Amino acid sequence: MEIRTVVSQPAKFSVSALLILAYEDENDRFDPWVKDLDKSIRSELSRLEKLNSIRGKFKEQTLFHPDSDEIDHVIVVGVGKRNEFSLDKLRSAVAAASQVARKLSASGLGVPLGKFLSLPSEAGAAAAVEGAILGLYQFKKYKNAKSDEDNHQDFPRMLGLIGGDKQDAARLEKGCDRGKILGESNIFVRDLVNEPSNVMTPTAFAHEAEAAAKKFGLEIKVIEKREMEKLGMGGILGVARGSHQPPKLLLLKYKGGSGKSFSLGLVGKGVTFDSGGISIKPSENMHHMTGDMAGAAACLGAMIAIARLKIPINLITLLPLAENLPGGNAYKPGDIVKIFNGKTVEIINTDAEGRMLLADALSYMQTMPVDAVVDLATLTGGIVVALGAAATGLFSTDEGLTSALLKAGEASEEMLWRMPLLPMYTKMVKGQFADLKNSAGRFAAACTAAAFLKEFAGEKPWAHLDIAATAHLDSPLSSEEHLYLPKYGATGAGVRILTVLAERLSEKGSLS
């Protein structure tokens, strides 16, 4: 899809489809520029509003075909109350309009921004472009049968961001680049997570990471099984024992800043398939476990976005990759394994495998020159029960890092909710025959999992983001608030918030 910025009055811009935002305020339904358009199309909008066909409720869509030489279709998308309008609502509206334009085989979609909209030009352009890219995303790589939708696959071919003057256009152009980078980085993550596990093995993921590193100027080292054995990484090696697929530990670096710049460590859980191991999961919904490497994918996608945006920060990322299968050599309940930092862990449940990978990676990260560490993981069903898909669970040992993440969550509109790390949870993961046990049972499961990870996070500021509910959607209800999310499959959660976090830390230079 070609993305263009133009200077024009929306009513005079020749485009196949034009987006109009409608607000839920009866006396303030449209932005001011719409009055001129309405006059040029014989007050069709006013007529539909009087008929109560346009009410401005969030997600409501109205399509009509005006009597106009410039515009073939007008797509009206409701965005709710004007005082609640946000970049995320714009992102959703453009996603919805893009989907309608595709069904219409509309060659182009025009989106009035800049002085035509009550949002900052640059940020608005970024949100609009990101919304279009994400809203049009489909994963059909393995489908042979063609559907009616496939006849419209290439539409819309152009997204036109309409500004009122040259100053508008310059800001829109800058925002357009940002939105394109964030959108494409998110799509990269979605594609990785949606791949089946017979394709996306630890080795295949490593190859994808190597290709991305070469393309975007990242340093990468692939730590193989033999080196992990020398390093004493019993967590990763234990989980991988039941599979024929060898584990990998990816070490990636981005040097965007100087030696004095903030250095952030990222760790992402990369279980490319999780059967539960000997503590095997129920067969129902086990197919979702192809996406248990979403944390690793998100960290890699964020690194790509940060590198493309040239953010002046230094990043070190560790991505432990393994399959968790119940083979004859699989690790078992009752086993005791030693982690890189020397602590021993009694295996209570082999399905609590993600924390074993993270334990080695987090403790290994303590040997790296980073100022703070954030890990992302589809870690627990407990966080799904606690928060649903509305928010990602945040656990942290540092108030400065917590504050930075919460602010980044607000700015990126990827919602975080802080969860407790009480001393009781640490007591619950103490082992009987080893230093720790890898599962404390069902009660406070997300909290005890975080308490377990804390034992390997060292003294540096650390935060854990449990993205088990937000990284993968399996119900249309989950995507109702964000129309740029798919109704099913990977969301790319984590890319935007980590990118915004990196920007803010690079500007401040510290957590204080």
Residue-level pLDDT at 480: 72
And the tokens for 331? 């690790």
Instruction: List the alpha helices (DSSP H) in 27-70.
Output: 34-40, 44-50
C-alpha to C-alpha distances, 216 to 17, 211, 263, 386, 493, nearest whole angstrom: 35, 9, 19, 38, 21
Classified as helix, coil or strand, 345 is strand
The DSSP letter of residue 465 is E
Mapped onto helix, strand or coil, the DSSP state of residue 130 is helix
The predicted pLDDT at position 473 comes to 84
Q: What is the structure's pLDDT at 205? A: 98
- In whole angstroms, how far apart are CA 134 and each of 39, 102, 188, 471? 33, 13, 11, 14
CATH architecture of 195-508: 3-Layer(aba) Sandwich (3.40)
**pLDDT value of residue 151:** 59
Alpha carbons 463 and 28: distance in angstroms, whole number = 43
Angle between helices 294-308 and 166-194 (to 10 degrees): 150
| pLDDT tens per residue across span 142-157 | 988 776 666 567 899 9
Global pTM reads 0.96
Residues of the chain with pLDDT under 50: none
- pLDDT for res 149: 63
Query: What's the confidence (pLDDT) of residue 144?
Result: 86
Count of CB atoms situated within 10 Å of the CB of 48: 16
pLDDT of the residue at 476? 52
Q: Is the backbone of residue 138 left (phi > 0), alpha (psi -120 to 50) or beta? A: beta
Q: How far is CA 306 from CA 3, 25, 159, 176, 444, in A?
A: 21, 39, 24, 16, 35
> How is residue 225 written in tokens?
């099984």
Polymer length of the chain: 512
| Strands 219-223 and 248-255, sheet pairing | antiparallel
Burial 270-282 (b: 16+ CB within 10 A, else e): bbbbbbbbbbeee
Q: What is the CATH number of domain 2-184?
A: 3.40.220.10
Please state the domain extents for the chain.
Answer: 2-184, 195-508
Q: What pLDDT sits at residue 409? A: 97
State the pLDDT at residue 478. Answer: 57
How far is it, in rounded angstroms, from Cα 340 to Cα 234? 7
The reported pLDDT for the residue numbered 419 is 98
Residues labelled catalytic: 281, 355
Write down the pLDDT at residue 26.
Answer: 86
- Tell me if residue 232 falls in helix, strand or coil: coil
